[in-house]
Structure formats: structure tokens, C-alpha cells
Amino acid sequence: MMQLDDTDHKLLSLLSENARAPVATLARKLNLARTTVQARLDRLESSGAIAAYTLRLGEIARPRIRATALLSIELRAGPAVLQKLKTLPAVETVHTCSGRVDLIVQLAADSTAELDDTLDSIGEAKGVKSSESLVHLSTRLDRTRS
């Protein structure tokens, strides 16, 4: 098992701040030759100390909050409810279904406040008898994206 020294820890700390930092910049900050830093990076990668380089999203690129709303609607209210749902920007898809509810509505919002407002608008829509919302917490399987 490989032991990490102080220089390795400093290098990992710099990479945790910016995984895309050029080797020359890392070498300058560590006061080492570029070839020495590259050799250390190669050793850290091959030993498994560095498992992957990753991306941390900024506020503007964070994933949207996703939810599903299950709607029960009044008899013959489908067209009016669908028309209302089309006016709500957070509504992505609407599916008819069999079972205890009539419509499944997929939602995506940039904030919980936007999601809350959208759910309020759906619940207040003429023809909606009841609604239940399910906020998506994490994705465990997604076969829709390649």
C-alpha cells in the first residue's frame, strides 16, 4: 500500500480546489519541477489515491428539482385541466393512466418556491379534484439517457 507524504497531500488539496489546474501551475505552487508533479500525479492515479477527476456544478448549472404530481380530475374535465397544465412552465409531461389517479404530471423547477407555486396552481385548477405530489430525491436508475 502506498503512503502519501506531505507533498502528495498538498497536491491533492490543490486538485480538490481545481481539478483542471495545469501541471505547470501545480508545480509552481508546490515549488517543484513540472515533471516531478506529473510523475506524482501518475503515481497517485495508478495507486488509486486519485480515483477520478470530477466536476462541481455552480449555482447556475445545478440540476432542477423534479417532482411527479398525481391528479384526480372531475369527469369530462380532462381538456380544461390539460389546457391549464400547458400554461405552467414547470410542467414537462402529462400522462393519462389507469388506477386510482387520472393524470401523472412530470414537473421540473429551478427552486422549491417555483415548484410550490406550480403545485398550488395545479391544485387550484378548475376540474382538479385532488392532487398528490412526490418530489424526486435521487435517481437510482435512468435508462432514458444514453
Give the model's pLDDT for residue 59. 61
131 in the same domain as 68: yes
Segment 124-129 shows an average pLDDT of 96
Instruction: Report how many domains make up the chain.
Output: 2
List pLDDT tens digits, range 70-115. 999 999 999 999 999 999 999 999 999 999 999 999 999 989 999 9
- Verify that 71 and 126 share a domain, yes or no: yes
Residue 73 lies in a domain: yes
The predicted-structure confidence for 39-75, as pLDDT tens digits, reads as follows 999 999 999 999 988 776 666 666 789 999 999 999 9
Nearest to 69 by CA among 108, 41, 34, 99: 108
Domain that holds residue 103: 60-135
Both 65 and 116 in one domain: the answer is yes
What is the pLDDT confidence band of residue 16, given thresholds at 50, 70 and 90?
confident
Q: Is residue 84 part of a domain?
A: yes
**Is 129 domain-assigned?**
yes
